[in-house]
Amino acid sequence: MSDTTLDPVTTPPPVDTLTPAQEATARLKELHPNIVSDDTREGYEGLIVYADSITEVAKSLRDELGFNYLSSVTGVDYLEEGKLEVVYHLYNIARGGGPVVLKAQVNRDEPVLPSLTPIFPGADFQEREAFDMYGFNFLGHPDLRRILTWDGFNGHPLRKDWKEPFYEEENKPFGSRWPDGQVFRAEEHNPYGKNVQYPPGWVPTGDEYDVETDVYLGLSYSRDSTPGLKTDKVTVNLGPQHPSTHGVFRMVVTLDGETIVDLKPVMGYLHRNHEQIGERNTFNMNMPYTDRLDYLSSMSNNLGYAITIEKLFDMTVPERAEWIRILMVELTRICNHLWALGFLLNDLGALQTPMLYFYLERELILDFFEATSGARMLCNYMRFGGLAYDLPDEVRGVPTLKFLEELIFNRLPSVLDQGDDLITGNEIVRARAIGVGILTPQDAIAMSTAGPLLRASGVPYDIRRAEPYSYYEHLDFDVAVRYNGDIYDRYLIRIDEMRQSLRILEQVLPHLKRTMGAPIIGDKPQYAMRAPRAGESYGRVENPKGELGYYVTTKRRSGNPERYHVRAPSFINLTALGPMSRGYKIADVVAILGSIDIVLGEVDR
Amino acid sequence: MTVANTGAIAGDVSVPDELANNVFITNIAKLLDPVYNWSRRNSIWPVTFGLACCAIEMICTASSRFDLARFGMEVFRATPRQADLMIISGTVTKKMVPTIVRLYNQMPEPRYVLSMGACASGGGPFKEGYNVVDGIDKFLPVDVYVPGCPPTPQALINGLIALQEKIDQQSISTAPWYDKKDPTAGLYPVPVLGPDLVDVRQLDIIRQEATRYTPENPVRAAEAEPTEPPDVEDAPKTVEPQ
Ligand code: SF4
């Protein structure tokens, strides 16, 4: 994709060998000739599957063809055709490469299809989300409730004919704001003066729907049948305001004494309608919104979105821009892991001290981001086909390259060593972390976990190697992997990953020097970009928290995405929280959650 | 902190000449207010309460580099019952706002609300979203607004200093929280989740609107006739708390 001047390290595969995905697609057509067919719409790929048979196809993909990782499940509304579609992206963990894309289409009025949860437990939350947003009825789903909005919410908000209270027009830019530039406050046009609407004719009765009941009904309550002391189970709510939940996340826990019998995550307390706003926005406008997904790693979110749209628009990225991109996302990874470790140790009882040490170094990185992009945290730095700005001349009064050298060769390695010295061998950390919150590799794959969580369970799957993007195939680094799958390994793997990131950064620095002054964006930057073709695009990057994917569809010459979906790693990683915590003590669940490393902006979007 | 020697107040108290240098006459508010406010302004304890991206900058403000401890504010309390200040640090969603109002009701007086960032102040970039509350001031009284997305730690500290200045202006004799007349005065009605967020102070308007709109003609911002903008600031006073 990039007009690199380097020799490719890996020779491209000869034309006649099929990628694992193509192979599997061809095999599927042989295996299920009447059920699957090619998606022939312009710009689309993958297979259209007869909706009622989706489980059969998924089963043969998993068992016979090695596509055992269901990465993304998303709904799409094709209002004009009267259809709703579920799109599945499956990957082959062992062989890497691109996805097999399955699509199941159902009638808009009666969107019923089987659930994939019996085959891929990782579909659990994603199917609930699709139900919430589109109203799909997944038969056989164990707990099909709303997940991002609340029970009793009116309508399915991502359906194309559903309109929000402050609705103005289908797509931006809105006529009310441009070109006349009038001042327009949506509240003035709403009889309630607020961002609310009620179904026509709805009259409050005073006893509204009890939004809590179903949460508790989903838990296992049964009395203990084992001999000995009979105890009652207690249900405890942790969150949404709780210092250990890293934001507005809530866990409902059933306890037997102090032991966890069942745990259900409850989310949506930070559901900011990212996708719905994204579908009204123009392509460009979504870039700053992606910052706010995983707000600890805005740079890598930018990269994922930029890659997706560059695929859709067939754009190339100049060499210098690619190197700076890698510089930014690897620094982001370090930033994020420092934060995650600070909080994990906080949760383990090392209250704030390690955090304060780590954040000094994190501030240095933020200063660099601020000098480059103008913002410390939410950088909005990447553009389609390149970057917004080149590197600055100086950071904190030091020439940029010197600052980076000092950071990469000196400050960051020493903070890692210091942390390693003080914490890794610490008796308390070891006692609390080793052997707690175990996730087996089989479960990790089945539950679609990603990133450090997956790799700490012994699955060496890293998108930078499995399906390389940008210049990662030219870089020399190892995929960090640990094999015990407990909290301790999830702690260690983050240190490993930071060390690997430093290794990458060391290799990037000479290229930055060499390409000084070269262009950082391919074409002239444009404000109103239009899609050159209709179709879909799925791009994914290895974010610090795991696989971040964007699924975008659009129409030809359209300036807005039709469907804009984010496969959020924190959200899907939470699938494993319940199974991982069962049988441990209530105090451990705090550390287990900390070791997953979630950020609520991404969980709830 | 110095209290001026006001001397004898005419017609009020008379001090014999020989005691003039030993007696110090002032009124109770002038004497106590500076002490009372000085101690409060330097020990504002916020609730540990992060909502979204702004919370990250709030944590940065409290940690090593910006060091909120310089202002006596580093003691983040996990329970609202021990806190003086609620920093609304991020996007307020409809699903979350009942919890926020409940937390606020649990805070003892004197209490303050600082709205941090564009989202908390007015919905920010997510204002048009169907699950977003367009500003926490629709439900709670806000003392200080800090602009930014996210506000930098410096901006937050500036907002906190503004709050300190506000505290300096208060007087023990007029402080509303010592007024025992109405025990529910400090309670704000907790909104309810129905088909959409229901502000219980607006039940009357909702009933009235239910007759005005039909399925063919739903209530919608751009389409509806502009109505008188409701007076948001007056809302808490005019409606009975729950
Ligand atoms: S104001 Fe900006 S930074 Fe703060 S919560 Fe809202 S989107 Fe995030």
In this predicted structure, the answer to whether residue B3 has a pLDDT above a threshold of 70 is no
Q: Report the DSSP beta bridge partners of residue A398.
A: A395
The per-residue pLDDT for A303 is: 92
Element (H, E) at A535: strand A535-543
In this predicted structure, the answer to whether residue B237 has a pLDDT above a threshold of 70 is no
The per-residue pLDDT for A437 is: 87
What is the band of A326 on the pLDDT scale with cuts at 50, 70, 90? Answer: very high
Task: Count the alpha carbons within 13 Å of A521 in the hemisphere toward its beta carbon.
Answer: 15
Percent of chain A with pLDDT over 90: 15
- Report d(CA A86, CA A103) in Å as an integer: 6
Report which of A380, A416, A376 is spatially closest to residue A396, judged by C-alpha positions: A376
In this predicted structure, the answer to whether residue A312 has a pLDDT above a threshold of 70 is yes
In ligand 1, the atom with minimum distance to the C-alpha of B118 is 1
Report which of A129, A291, A132, A172 is spatially closest to residue B128, judged by C-alpha positions: A172
The per-residue pLDDT for A199 is: 80
The per-residue pLDDT for B4 is: 43
Q: Do B93 and A359 touch (CB under 8 A)?
A: no
- Report d(CA A413, CA B88) in Å as an integer: 36
Tokens of A486: 């407990």
Name the least confident of A205-209, A277-281, A381-385, A389-393: A205-209
Question: Strands A112-114 and B112-116: what pairing?
Answer: unpaired
Percent of chain B with pLDDT over 70: 80
Q: Do A295 and B128 touch (CB under 8 A)?
A: no
The per-residue pLDDT for B12 is: 64
What is the band of B80 on the pLDDT scale with cuts at 50, 70, 90? Answer: confident
Report which of A140, A156, A135, A172 is spatially closest to residue A54, judged by C-alpha positions: A140
Ligand 1 centroid to residue B116 C-alpha, Å: 8
The per-residue pLDDT for A565 is: 92
The per-residue pLDDT for A224 is: 52
In this predicted structure, the answer to whether residue B233 has a pLDDT above a threshold of 50 is no
For the beta sheet containing A563-567, the strands, ordered from the edge strand earlier in sequence to the opposite edge, are A535-543, A546-554, A563-567
What is the band of A176 on the pLDDT scale with cuts at 50, 70, 90? Answer: low
The per-residue pLDDT for A178 is: 57
Contacts 24+ apart (CB under 8 A), A249-253: A249/A593, A249/A598, A249/A600, A249/A603, A251/A577, A251/A589, A251/A593, A252/A215, A252/A216, A252/A219, A253/A581, A253/A586, A253/A589
- Report d(CA A510, CA A6) in Å as an integer: 14
In this predicted structure, the answer to whether residue A251 has a pLDDT above a threshold of 50 is yes
Ligand 1 centroid to residue A287 C-alpha, Å: 15
Tokens of A366: 């933020």
- Report d(CA A37, CA A47) in Å as an integer: 5
Q: Which of B47, B214, B224 sits opposite A200 (nearest CB)?
A: B214
Residue window 73-132, chain B: list those with CB within 8 Å of chain A. Answer: 78, 90-91, 93-96, 99, 103, 123, 125-132
Report which of A596, A603, A546 is spatially closest to residue A250, judged by C-alpha positions: A603
The per-residue pLDDT for A141 is: 87
Q: Do A241 and B49 touch (CB under 8 A)?
A: yes
**ipTM for this prediction:** 0.85
Q: Which fold has domain A274-578?
A: Cytochrome-c3 Hydrogenase; chain B (1.10.645)
**Any CB–CB contact under 8 A between B202 and chain A?**
yes
Ligand 1 centroid to residue A5 C-alpha, Å: 40
- A463 against B30, higher pLDDT: A463
Q: In whole angstroms, what separates CA A138 from the centre of its chain? A: 23
Report which of A455, A454, A501, A471 is spatially closest to residue A336, judged by C-alpha positions: A501
Report which of A105, A111, A167 is spatially closest to residue A139, judged by C-alpha positions: A111
- Give me the mean pLDDT over the A230-236 stretch: 76
Q: In whole angstroms, what separates CA A194 from the centre of its chain? A: 31
- Give me the mean pLDDT over the A239-244 stretch: 77
Ligand 1 centroid to residue B119 C-alpha, Å: 5
Residue-wise pLDDT for B153-181, tens only, equals: 999 999 999 999 999 888 887 877 777 77
Task: Report CA dihedral (A379, A385, A386, A388) to the nearest 10 degrees.
Answer: -50
- B219 against B154, higher pLDDT: B154
What is the band of A502 on the pLDDT scale with cuts at 50, 70, 90? Answer: very high
If you take atom 5 of ligand 1, which residue's CA is the nearest one?
A: B90
What is the band of B5 on the pLDDT scale with cuts at 50, 70, 90? Answer: very low
- Say if residues A143 and A128 touch (Cβ distance below 8 Å): yes
Name the least confident of A209-213, A538-542, B87-91, B172-176: A209-213
Angle at B164 between CA B158 and CA B170, to 5 degrees: 145
If you take atom 3 of ligand 1, which residue's CA is the nearest one?
A: B150
Question: Strands A398-399 and A394-395: what pairing?
Answer: antiparallel
- If DSSP codes are grouped into helix, strand and coil, which group holds residue A603? helix
Interface test with chain A among B53, B54, B149, by most A beta carbons within 10 Å: B53
The per-residue pLDDT for B21 is: 81
Residue-wise pLDDT for A76-97, tens only, equals: 998 888 889 999 999 988 888 8
The per-residue pLDDT for A525 is: 65
Residue-wise pLDDT for A372-383, tens only, equals: 988 888 988 988
Pocket mutation for ligand 1, best pick of A292, A376, A379 (most atoms within 8 Å of C-beta): A292
Tokens of B27: 């009124």
In this predicted structure, the answer to whether residue B111 has a pLDDT above a threshold of 50 is yes
Report which of B88, B92, B101 is spatially closest to residue B190, judged by C-alpha positions: B101
Q: Got the DSSP string for A416-449?
A: HHHHIIIIIT-HHHHHHHTTSS---HHHHHHTT-
Q: Do B125 and A190 touch (CB under 8 A)?
A: no
Residue-wise pLDDT for B184-207, tens only, equals: 677 888 888 888 888 888 887 887
Domains A20-163+195-217 and A274-578 share a fold: no
Question: Strands A100-107 and A47-49: what pairing?
Answer: parallel
**What is the residue-averaged pLDDT of chain A?**
84
Q: How many CB atoms lie within 10 A of CB A409?
A: 14
Ligand 1 centroid to residue A378 C-alpha, Å: 9
Type of residue found at A437? G
Tokens of A106: 């159902």
Q: Where are the domains of chain A?
A: 20-163+195-217, 274-578
Q: How many CB atoms lie within 10 A of CB A498?
A: 25
- Say if residues B99 and A242 touch (Cβ distance below 8 Å): no
In ligand 1, the atom with minimum distance to the C-alpha of B125 is 7
- Report d(CA A75, CA B91) in Å as an integer: 26
**According to the CATH classification, is domain A20-163+195-217 in 3.30.460.80?**
yes
Residue-wise pLDDT for A396-455, tens only, equals: 888 988 999 998 998 899 988 988 888 888 888 888 888 888 899 988 999 999 989 999
- Say if residues A113 and A86 touch (Cβ distance below 8 Å): yes
In this predicted structure, the answer to whether residue A28 has a pLDDT above a threshold of 90 is no
Q: Which of B56, B133, B210 sits opposite A377 (nearest CB)?
A: B56
Strands (E), A337-426: 382-383, 386-387, 394-395, 398-399
- Give me the mean pLDDT over the B56-82 stretch: 86
- Give me the mean pLDDT over the A543-548 stretch: 90
- Say if residues B220 and A167 touch (Cβ distance below 8 Å): yes
Tokens of A454: 């997956």
In this predicted structure, the answer to whether residue A252 has a pLDDT above a threshold of 90 is no
Q: Which range is most confident: A1-15, A317-331, A518-532, B14-28?
A: A317-331
The per-residue pLDDT for A529 is: 80
Percent of chain B with pLDDT over 90: 14
Q: Do B52 and A190 touch (CB under 8 A)?
A: no
What is the band of B151 on the pLDDT scale with cuts at 50, 70, 90? Answer: very high
- If DSSP codes are grouped into helix, strand and coil, which group holds residue A407? helix
Collect all residues with Cβ–Cβ distance below 8 Å to A48 and sequence separation of at least 6: A36, A37, A38, A39, A103, A104, A105
Q: Do A377 and B57 touch (CB under 8 A)?
A: yes
Sign of the alpha-carbon dihedral angle for A106, A109, A115, A120: positive
Which residues from chain A sit within 8 angstroms of residue B210, using beta carbons? 198, 200-203
The per-residue pLDDT for A346 is: 85
